[in-house]
Amino acid sequence: MNTIRAIELIEEQLHFINQTKLPLEEEILVSDDYERIAIAIERLEIRGAPAIGVAAAYALALSLKNIRKERWSEVFKKALQRLASTRPTAVNLFFALNEMQNVYDQFKEADDLYARLYKKAICIHNDDIILCDKIASNGLNIFTKKVRVLTHCNAGALATGGDGTALNVIRKAFENGFVEHVYTDETRPLLQGSRLTAWELQKYGIPFSINTDSTAAFLMQQKKVDLVIVGADRIAINGDAANKIGTYNLAVICHYHKVPFYVAAPTTTIDKKCLNGDEIKIELRDKKELTWFGSKQITLDYFPAYCPAFDVTPNALITAIITEKGIYKPPFDFLHV
């Protein structure tokens, strides 16, 4: 099968797929400027909680590239604050930035600080690749027969430093003969499902079809969906999980139709300072994501609009959470994970 890498570090330059152009154009952007990488995260050229964390780690390391030692403190602090301001919901971002700051604090007087930060960013990336593989291997245990799977948004290689979380579980299951068909919600308003997940599934040769978000209930009513797997951007220690807007709707209709609802994410997505979903900060996006469709205006700009990027699925609606450490079922208690 094809290998997709959304982010790669090549000769001290970050190479990343511009996900806003997919699937119509496969554009690779290259930068070693932390500000440009921060903008890429905000624009969703780089997206997905693990991928954001990896990209931010590289950006923070690269912020000190060719910087004189007497300016390290000033530049590092500025870069850290800028990157932390990009996407508030994805906990992996703050995990990665914290890991990088620990290295900075420990070696800020060392002449090889840049090399140490660079090495740490690579380590964070490599760790994510390993986590993705372990999540997929553990996820294989939820399958006992060939099934039809539905997924929402994109939790594949495009969303991580490796091969993905939820979509990697699906890929692994397909390779082992357990997946007959994948339904991918288009995922309004930015269509990550119809643009990104469909692009990955086509690359992997996995049978799929795109449907509107509001079609999912009808598919379940027709008994065409055997289980649902999604990713997560932040998980509270009680198992409440924030994911792309529309995920909560999906969990509710799964509960009604008695369809298993799984979340797949690395344990770095678990926020141990967050007791429950009420404490998860939900990012609000520009209303133009609703009033415009790409470059085409579809309604009046002055119409009020509410555009949260994520919602929170209560733990009671989650069948299990698949991580690199294992599969966790209710009651969830991730305080010591």
Q: Of the residues 233, 240, 271, 311, which is catalytic? A: 233
Q: How far apart are CA 155 and CA 71, in angstroms?
A: 38
H-type alpha helices, the chain:
34-43, 49-62, 72-84, 91-107, 113-139, 166-175, 192, 198-204, 216-221, 247-257, 288-291
Rounded Cα distance, 100 and 103, in Å: 5
Residue 142, both tokens: 């939820």
Q: What is the DSSP string of 287-329?
A: THHHHEETTEE-S-TTS----BSEEEE-GGG-SEEEETTEEE-
Structural contact between residues 233 and 57, judged by C-beta atoms closer than 8 angstroms: no
CB burial of residue 137 (10 Å; 0-12, 13-18, 19+): middle
Residue 32 falls in the annotated catalytic set: no
Neighbouring CB atoms inside 10 A of 253's CB total 19
Beta bridge partners of 56: none
Q: How far apart are CA 287 and CA 306, in angstroms?
A: 7
Q: Catalytic residues, which ones?
A: 233
